[in-house]
Amino acid sequence: MKVAVFSTKAYDRQFLSAANSPTQQKLVFFEPRLNRDTAILAAGFPAVCVFVHDQVDGPTLELLASRGTRLVVLRCAGFNNVDLQAAADLGITVVRVPAYSPYGVAEHAVGLILSLNRKIHRAYNRVREGNFSIDGLLGFNLHERTVGIVGTGKIGLILGQIMKGFGCELLAYDVYRNPELEALGGKYVQLPELFANSDIISLHCPLTPETHHLINTEAIKQIKSGVMLINTSRGALIDTQAVIEGLKSGKIGYLGMDVYEQESELFFEDLSGEIIQDDIFQRLITFPNVLITGHQAFFTAEALHNIAETTFANIADIEEGRPCANEIRAQPSV
pLDDT digits (tens, 9 = 90+) for 170-182: 999 999 999 999 9
**pLDDT at residue 333, as a whole number:** 59
Amino acid identity at 50: V
Q: Which of these, 240, 206, 202, lies nearest to 113 by C-alpha position?
A: 202
Enumerate residues 6+ apart whose C-beta is below 8 A from 21.
none
Q: Is 263 a catalytic residue?
A: yes
Q: State the pTM of this model.
A: 0.92
* Other beta carbons within 10 Å of 198: 25
Q: Is 108 a catalytic residue?
A: no
Question: Could you say which of 234, 261, 269, 329 is catalytic?
Answer: 234
**pLDDT at residue 254, as a whole number:** 98
Q: Is 329 a catalytic residue?
A: no
Alpha-carbon separation of residue 238 from 33, 161, 166, 189, 246 (angstroms) = 25, 24, 27, 20, 12
* Other beta carbons within 10 Å of 330: 14
Amino acid identity at 317: D
Q: What is the 3-state secondary structure (H, E, C) of the chain?
A: CEEEECCCCHHHHHHHHHHHCCCCCEEEECCCCCCCCCHHHHCCCCEEEECCCCCECHHHHHHHHHCCCCEEEECCCCCCCECHHHHHHCCCEEECCCCCCHHHHHHHHHHHHHHHHHCHHHHHHHHHCCCCCCCCCCCCCCCCCEEEEECCCHHHHHHHHHHHHCCCEEEEECCCCCHHHHHCCCEECCHHHHHHHCCEEEECCCCCCCCCCCECHHHHHHCCCCEEEEECCCHHHECHHHHHHHHHHCCEEEEEECCCCCHHHCCCCCCCCCCCCCHHHHHHCCCCCEEECCCCCCCCHHHHHHHHHHHHHHHHHHHCCCCCCCECCCCCCC
Q: Which of these, 232, 203, 110, 231, lies nearest to 165 by C-alpha position?
A: 110
Question: Could you say which of 33, 53, 213, 263 is catalytic?
Answer: 263
Contacts 24+ apart (CB under 8 A), 53-58: 53/7, 53/81, 53/263, 53/264, 53/267, 53/268, 54/6, 54/7, 54/81, 55/81, 56/81, 56/82, 56/83, 56/87, 57/81, 57/82, 57/83, 57/86, 58/83, 58/86
Question: Could you say which of 33, 53, 75, 295 is catalytic?
Answer: 295
Query: 68 with 45: CB under 8 angstroms?
Result: yes
Flag residues of the chain having pLDDT under 50. 334
Amino acid identity at 62: E
CA dist., res. 105 & res. 307, Å (int): 14
